[in-house]
Every structure is written in C-alpha cells, then in structure tokens.
Amino acid sequence: MKFGGTSLGDGKRIRHVASLIRRYSEENELVVVASAMSNVTDELIKLTSIAESGRENEVDELLERLSSQHEDAIGDAIKDEKISAEVWRYIQRDLDGLRRAVKGVCYIMEATPRTRDLILSFGERLSTRILWGAMLDFGMPAVYLTGKDAGIVTDSNFGEAVPLIETTYLNLSSKLGNLISEGKIPVVTGFIAADTHGVITTLGRGGSDYTATLIGSAINADEIWLWSDVDGLMTANPKIVPNAKVLPEISYAEAIEMAMFGAKGLHPRAFEPTIEKGIPVRIRNTFNPEKPGTLIKKSRVVSGDVVKAVLLVENVGMVSVRGTSIVGRPGTAAKILDAIARRSINIMMISQSVSESSISFIVKRDVLEKAIAAIETSLLSSGIAKDVEVDDDVAVVAVVGEGMKGTPGIAARVFKAVASKGINIKMISQGASELNISFVVRVAEAVDAVRAVHDEFKLGIEN
C-alpha cells in the first residue's frame, strides 16, 4: 500500500492512514510506502533554489517552517508520549542533515543534481518516520526503512534514476520478505533509492508510486494499492466535465497512457514492473475508503467499450520546423529530435506530413524557448531547416482506450464531434498501438473539444 502526499497532509490524516493500515493488516501481510507530506517536495525544491542564490535568512525561515510542520504532525498523529519523543528525536536528526546539506548549498551557491536528490530525499524520510510512529502507537509491528535500506538500487541519473531491476528485486524480496515472515510491517520511504556507490538518488516526481510497484513486484504481492485523494481514475477531469465518472477497471496500457498525459500525477514508469508479473494495481481514496477505486490489470477488451477517457493537457507549446530541404533527406527528423533530446527536453507528441515538408511537435510550455533555441542553433545555422514556427496557444486533447485498436470509425467520430462544435484542429497524431488519438486545438476551445468527445462516446454518468 502506498499513501500519497495529500493522504499524509497533516498529523490527523497520518493517524487516519495508520488506522486504515491496521484495518487491512488484520487479514493481510503488508508493506507500506509513504510519500512526503503534501507540498513538502515542492518546498524542498524551493529551498534548494533559495539556497543556490545564497539567501540564508530565507533558508532559515523555510527550514523553521518545515520543522514546525512536522512537529505539529507528530503531535496529532501519535498519542503515546514515549513514541512521539522517539519520533521527534529521529526527525530532528533528519532535519539536521537537511540543514547541513542546504547550508552547504548556500555557501557554494550551487546545487548539483546529486545534492538536489539528497535534499529532496528528506521529505519522504520525515513523513515516513511519523507514519511509522503512528503505526507503533496503534500497536503494529512497524519497521522503518528508506528505499535505500530496502535495497532499491539505481543508476546515477540523479533526479530521474532508473532502478537496476534484477538487483533491486533480489534485495527487496530478501530484505522485505524476511521482515514479513517475522510478522513485521515494513514502512518504506517512497521516491528514494541509492546508486551502486550508495549515494542517494530519486526516482523522479511522483516516484513513490514506482517504489510501491517495484516492491509489490519484488515480493509477488497479490495486489498493489495506491491510496490517494481521488476515488479513482476518471473518464475526464471532473472540473471541466461535470458528469465524468470513475473507471472501475482499465488496462496497464491505458493507465500508462493516462499517466503520460498527466492523469492524477501517476508516475509513467510505475506500471512497468507490474506488467511483467501481471500484478493488479488499485487506485483508492483514503478520504473515501469504502469506494472500490479503479482496478488496473492485464487488458480485457470489452467490445463496445472502445474509448475509456478523454484527457486535456495544458501548458504546452507547438514547434513546427519547415524547409524544403527536409523533403526526401533521410535523417532530418532524427537530427531535429536529437537536437531537442540533447537539451533533455521531452517531446510529448510528434507529427510529420507525408510531403515531409514540415515536422511539428509538442513540448511542455516551460521548455518551449529552450526547444526553439536548440532548433535554431543546430538546424537553422546548418541549413537543414529553413524556418521554425512556434505556437503557444495550444492544448492537447488525448483520447485513450485499448478497444480503439482495429475498430474502424473511431477517429471519424472523434473528429466529427469536434468539428460539430466549430473547433479547428491544428495537429493530429495516432500511434501504431491505436491506443491513443491525440489532437491539438486552441486553448480557448480545448474544454469544449474534451466535452464533445466525452459526450460522443457517452462516457459520463447519464442523467
């Protein structure tokens, strides 16, 4: 069971989570994974950049805030005074480690990716320690471990480290397997691992999900539950589509697709470990634990159920590279993509016309300028491309569903629904997996486009 940051948002919530764990621990063997308390990772990122600019007073203030936030949480989460005193001692030790790391950054005014990971790791260390204490308070045999202690080993790609799967599985299954067979309940920090030299790494934002699926797969769990603050994955964002409903069941491939497009901040790689072993993943709500949530498992395509969800991706920009010299010249697309990749910019969507005279792609808006600079320096100057055009008035609508594969007429229905609202489509892409049809529209028309497709496939609750 993994608990997200909002579920651990304050001391009362942490206590509530501990009570949920107790309820399920009566009939199951469990491993618990915890995220940082809500916003703490963001605060630690902010702390790092303040430290990099050497603003020591602000650093002290922020550290003080983090300290009292966690101190308050202990007060509400743990009733037993001896346990809370012990937890507070551990927390102070961690806060001291954090303080020293951040002060170091202050003095040299620079944070390397490695230092950044060290600093970010404290969010999970602090929250998990409090959850551990709350579990002890309820009389559970909890054992605290960091992801590193548990045995998650990664490469040294700080900030987005990739687990060395076989070693990690071996370590996790022996370490956690032993604790479980002794009747203990391991409580593991999400997000954190270590490289082969023992240096702390992190698995990328939202990485606690990944920690949970790695552990679940390593120990051959019956199910992996990701507890968060939503009733499950939905047919659309209910903020823009009021009759959107929770999906009772989807496939791994659909879940990955939804994660890539930002649904509920799931880590896109989180499902990799579970697919191989076929372990079902359930998304559940700590604030509404009676609801069954969404079950994610091996695909079982039900006919008629072709489109599952319609997602809106905002804060993106479109770059189009034109030039007749692109036509018929093998390797141009590769050069364009390479120029982008070398700046570590992620391309979310891509499309090239058959005439080959233009290639368009979508990136996050905050890296748009960087992408253009990359194209300009490496392609315009060498004459490979003639012209680069940017459009930041765009949003992506992604239509997801495994049943679309091989079902004729889905694309026609999608585009007809959008056209009937008078909305112009700027770019289209469908992967060969036919799992996802994505298209780009103007920002002002994006919500209507989502609603049109959602209605066309009758995805919502009927009234």
Write out the residues near ligand ASP by the rule CB under 6 A.
Answer: 5, 35-36, 41, 123, 190-191, 205-209
**41 vs 438, beta carbon nearer ligand ASP:** 41
SS (H, E, C) the chain: CEECCHHHCCHHHHHHHHHHHHHHHCCCCCCEEECCCCCHHHHHHHHHHHHHCCCHHHHHHHHHHHHHHHHHHHHHHCCCHHHHHHHHHHHHHHHHHHHHHHHHHHHHCCCCHHHHHHHHHHHHHHHHHHHHHHHHHCCCCEEEECHHHHCCEECCCCCCCCECHHHHHHHHHHHHHHHHHCCCEEEEECCEEEECCCCEEECCCCHHHHHHHHHHHHCCCCCEEEEECCCCCECCCCCCCCCCCECCEEEHHHHHHHHHCCHHHCCHHHHHHHHHHCCCEEEEECCCCCCCCEEEECCCCCCCCCCCEEEEEEEEEEEEEECHHHCCCCCHHHHHHHHHHCCCCCCCEEEECCCCCEEEEEEEHHHHHHHHHHHHHHHHCCCCCCEEEEEEEEEEEEEECHHHCCCCCHHHHHHHHHHCCCCCCCEEEECCCCCEEEEEECHHHHHHHHHHHHHHCCCCCCC
Question: Does residue number 190 form part of the binding site for Mg ion (CB under 5 A)?
Answer: no
**34 vs 396, beta carbon nearer ligand ASP:** 34
Distance set, CA 128 to CA 8, 24, 144, 206 (Å) = 9, 18, 8, 16
Which does residue 36 touch among Mg ion, ligand ASP, none (CB within 5 to 8 A, set by kind)? ligand ASP
Which does residue 190 touch among ligand ASP, Mg ion, none (CB within 5 to 8 A, set by kind)? ligand ASP
**21 vs 453, beta carbon nearer ligand ASP:** 21
Nearest partner of 388 among 459, 293, 318, judged by Cα: 318
Shortest spacing between CB 41 and Mg ion, in angstroms:
7
Q: Other C-beta atoms within 10 Å of 150: how many?
A: 24
Shortest spacing between CB 114 and ligand ASP, in angstroms:
17
Shortest spacing between CB 58 and Mg ion, in angstroms:
25
**38 vs 217, beta carbon nearer ligand ASP:** 38
**160 vs 391, beta carbon nearer ligand ASP:** 160
Shortest spacing between CB 351 and Mg ion, in angstroms:
32
**271 vs 439, beta carbon nearer ligand ASP:** 271
**5 vs 401, beta carbon nearer Mg ion:** 5
Residue closest to ligand ASP (Cβ) = 208
Which does residue 9 touch among Mg ion, ligand ASP, none (CB within 5 to 8 A, set by kind)? none
**126 vs 459, beta carbon nearer ligand ASP:** 126
For 181, the token pair is 């067979």
Half-sphere exposure of 7 (CA within 13 A, CB side): 28
Which does residue 268 touch among ligand ASP, Mg ion, none (CB within 5 to 8 A, set by kind)? none
**3 vs 361, beta carbon nearer Mg ion:** 3
Which does residue 426 touch among Mg ion, ligand ASP, none (CB within 5 to 8 A, set by kind)? none
Point out which span in 32-40, 50-58, 177-185, 422-430 binds Mg ion (CB under 5 A).
32-40
Shortest spacing between CB 240 and Mg ion, in angstroms:
22
Point out which span in 5-13, 53-61, 236-244, 380-388 binds Mg ion (CB under 5 A).
5-13
**35 vs 378, beta carbon nearer Mg ion:** 35
Which does residue 231 touch among ligand ASP, Mg ion, none (CB within 5 to 8 A, set by kind)? none
Instruction: Yes or no: say if 97 and 129 are a contact pair by the CB < 8 Å rule.
Output: no
Q: Binding residue for Mg ion (CB under 5 A) from 5, 11, 268, 403? A: 5
Point out which span in 29-37, 141-149, 302-310, 399-407 binds Mg ion (CB under 5 A).
29-37
Shortest spacing between CB 141 and Mg ion, in angstroms:
27
Shortest spacing between CB 189 and ligand ASP, in angstroms:
9
C-alpha to C-alpha distance for 452 and 420, rounded to whole angstroms: 8
Question: Does residue number 35 form part of the binding site for Mg ion (CB under 5 A)?
Answer: yes
Point out which span in 27-35, 255-263, 304-312, 433-441 binds Mg ion (CB under 5 A).
27-35
Shortest spacing between CB 389 and Mg ion, in angstroms:
36
Chain residues in the site for Mg ion (CB under 5 A): 4-5, 35
